[in-house]
Chain A
Amino acid sequence: DVKVTQSSRYLVKRTGEKVFLECVQDMDHENMFWYRQDPGLGLRLIYFSYDVKMKEKGDIPEGYSVSREKKERFSLILESASTNQTSMYLCASNVGGRRDEQFFGPGTRLTVL
């Protein structure tokens, strides 16, 4: 079974802190994605990566950066956390084709105080 894991289920941070969210997949997938999910807005793509060290901005990249140094690991970084970044963060991965299923991690619920 494909497994996507995220470093924390719940995280509480203070405004201005630098926050790292880690995602690891164990199926040698090419593509990895970071989304945030908010009520009434659905899942919105922050960044995705189609190869090691390669990344593309999604719909809402402002205030975020990403790192993919190894194929299995995709990190989301909040440079200076703000209260409007309080959300559920979901990582996903897939093999590489447009028809391919995305496999999601369990999510990290981040609260910024």
Chain B
Amino acid sequence: RKEVEQDPGPFNVPEGATVAFNCTYSNSASQSFFWYRQDCRKEPKLLMSVYSSGNEDGRFTAQLNRASQYISLLIRDSKLSDSATYLCVVNDASGTYKYIFGTGTRLKVLA
């Protein structure tokens, strides 16, 4: 089993739609969770950190489910500019500052 797993997609959705991605992680001791966004041929950039209580930033909502070991990202009212690959990132719980990246979920928002 991969340490961090994501559905690669692509998720093709119309503008204005709501779309959700899940990401599962294998190490129950993991402490920190993030969603990064990566545009084509660009570097990853932090979209949002994921907190235990869940958090929202505008149209984006992140949730953590420790019991089932997954995190989710919900995007409401999708925009064309949301088209990108979304990377799930989990910190390694071994005591070092190591982050495990998922392979990413590709989103295409269609006009």
The answer, among A45, A48, A101, A105, for a CB contact under 8 Å with B43, is A105
Q: Mark B42-69, 1 if CB is under 8 A from A, else 0.
A: 1111100100000000000000000000
The answer, among B42, B97, B102, for a CB contact under 8 Å with A42, is B102
B55 to chain A, nearest CB (A): 12
Q: Mark B25-37, 1 if CB is under 8 A from A, else 0.
A: 0000001101000
A41 interface residue (CB < 8 Å to B): yes
Majority-rule SS of B interface residues: loop
* A86-101 at interface with B (beta carbon < 8 Å): 90, 94, 96, 98-99, 101
CA distance A42 to B42 in the complex (A): 14
A102 interface residue (CB < 8 Å to B): yes
A106 interface residue (CB < 8 Å to B): yes
CA distance A105 to B104 in the complex (A): 18
A66 to chain B, nearest CB (A): 15
A104 touches B101 (CB 8 A): no
Which residues of chain B come closer than 8 Å to A41, judged between CB atoms?
103
B98 touches A45 (CB 8 A): yes
Which residues of chain A come closer than 8 Å to B32, judged between CB atoms?
98-99
Which residues of chain B come closer than 8 Å to A104, judged between CB atoms?
43-45
Q: Which residues of B contact A (CB under 8 A)?
A: 8, 31-32, 34, 42-46, 49, 87, 91, 96-99, 101-104
Task: Sample 12 A-B pairs with CB under 8 A, ordered by A number.
Answer: A35-B101, A41-B103, A45-B99, A48-B98, A50-B97, A94-B97, A96-B97, A101-B46, A102-B44, A102-B99, A104-B44, A105-B43
The 5 closest A-B pairs by CB, nearest first: A104-B43, A42-B103, A43-B101, A101-B46, A98-B91
